[in-house]
């Protein structure tokens, strides 16, 4: 069993997806899902790049202008 699903449940889901989207769309869907997962993993492992704390130097320069 994979995550609570047996092999028959996964095959049924695959057949339903095949009927809905067609055989030509499956590679595009798979590629999109793979890219989304890799982007999610990359974003979750990288440190936060956005610093939202205001800096005194930039505030003082704005007041002078």
The per-residue pLDDT of the chain, averaged, comes to 78
The domain tally of the chain equals 1
Range of the domain at 24: 1-43
37 lies in a domain?
yes
3 lies in a domain?
yes
28 lies in a domain?
yes
The residue that leads in pLDDT, 2 or 32, is 32
65 lies in a domain?
no
5 lies in a domain?
yes
Q: Residue 30: what pLDDT?
A: 85
> b/e per residue, 26-55, with b = 16+ CB within 10 A?
eeeeeeeeeeeeeeeeeeeeeeeeeeeeee
57 lies in a domain?
no
60 lies in a domain?
no
12 lies in a domain?
yes
Q: What is this structure's pTM?
A: 0.46
């Amino acid at each position: 069993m994979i995550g609570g699903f047996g092999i028959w449940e996964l095959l049924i889901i695959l057949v339903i997806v095949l009927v809905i989207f067609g055989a030509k769309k499956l590679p595009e869907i798979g590629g999109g899902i793979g890219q989304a997962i890799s982007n999610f993993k990359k974003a979750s492992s990288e440190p936060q790049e956005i610093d939202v704390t205001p800096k005194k130097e930039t505030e003082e320069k704005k007041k002078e202008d």
